[in-house]
Amino acid sequence: MTYDILVLDLDGTLTNSEKKITPPTREALIEIQQNGKKVVLASGRPTPGVVSLAKELHLGDYGSYILSFNGGKIINCSTGEAIYNKILPSKVTSAVYEIASQYDVDLLTYTEHEILSGIKPNQYTELESKINNMPIVRVENFPEAVTFPVNKFLITGEAALTEKIETLLKEKFHSLLNIYRSEPFFLEVMPQNIDKAHSLQKLLNYLGMSADQMICCGDGFNDLTMIEYAGLGVAMENAQPILKKTADYITKSNDEDGVLHVINEFMR
């Protein structure tokens, strides 16, 4: 099978433990784009948190794509056009805030340049800030501050608390929102039916391509749907056990250039 599109999760997949792309992997990703392949950076990060890596890989020079917010938004890096953009219903903001504010967690969303903290920043809010290289701005009244379209909310806190809030939010919004933990300390609040596989289907339709032409690589729970959907679903050696069980292929870890290994095996 010839694979023409490579979809990469970022943290724990494309980037190593230092959140960097190694030079050999960077060179290989640029080379396959020069040879006509498409690269998609598919992340739970907000779009501004992906842009620097997209520039490093020259995605804009070769018509490749950013899939951000776990699939809530897809950007053509050459044109800056959003070819898909799914936002949360504005009516849920107050209710999500009301539930989250009863616990020792933080509630976040994103502008083009900042992370808005709606309760109180914690160590996991700081981690999100560091991952995305975006400053935290504390807002006093979160529902009143969120006057713009939102692709997702993120609740940050200890695992026992995010698990409890996940249950409460699912009970309240089961038919309206997609709610899951991408990490034990990160609870994602997304529009209904949004996940990486759903949005990749939209992208493939846009490109006139099929899932059989696509390789997807990931390590976390939010990568499971795209690994199941891809023509070749790849789990990193450092991936969650369920991904390794589901994947068609297990590559080396993110600290051993696992993505480069996939390129060498299947795209050259």
Q: What would the pLDDT profile of 130-188 be if each residue is shown by its tens digit?
A: 999 999 999 999 999 999 999 999 999 999 999 999 999 999 998 899 998 888 999 99
Nearest Cα to 119, choosing from 106, 110, 100? 106
Task: Express each pLDDT in 242-259 by its tens digit.
Answer: 999 999 999 999 999 999
Q: Give the whole-number percent of the chain exceeding pLDDT 70.
A: 100
Question: Distance between terminal CA atoms of the chain?
Answer: 12
Encode burial over 124-144: b for 16+ CB neighbours within 10 A, e otherwise: bbeebbebbebeeeebeebee
Structure tokens at 145: 């501050």
Q: Which pLDDT does position 222 carry in this prediction?
A: 87
Res 209 pLDDT > 80 = yes
Separation in Å, CA 238 to CA 19, 30, 252, 254: 15, 24, 8, 7
d(CA 18, CA 14): 11
Nearest Cα to 161, choosing from 116, 201, 123? 123
Strands ordered across the beta sheet of 153-156:
136-138, 115-117, 106-110, 153-156, 186-191, 177-183
CA atoms within 13 A on the CB side of 14: 22
d(CA 199, CA 236): 22
Q: Give the whole-number percent of the chain exceeding pLDDT 90.
A: 94
Res 221 pLDDT > 80 = yes
Strands 73-76 and 82-85: antiparallel
* pLDDT, averaged across the chain: 96
Instruction: Answer whether 236's CB lies under 8 Å from 13's CB.
Output: yes
**pTM of structure:** 0.91
Q: Which pLDDT does position 260 carry in this prediction?
A: 98
Task: Express each pLDDT in 62-112 by its tens digit.
Answer: 999 999 999 999 999 999 999 999 999 999 999 999 999 999 999 999 999
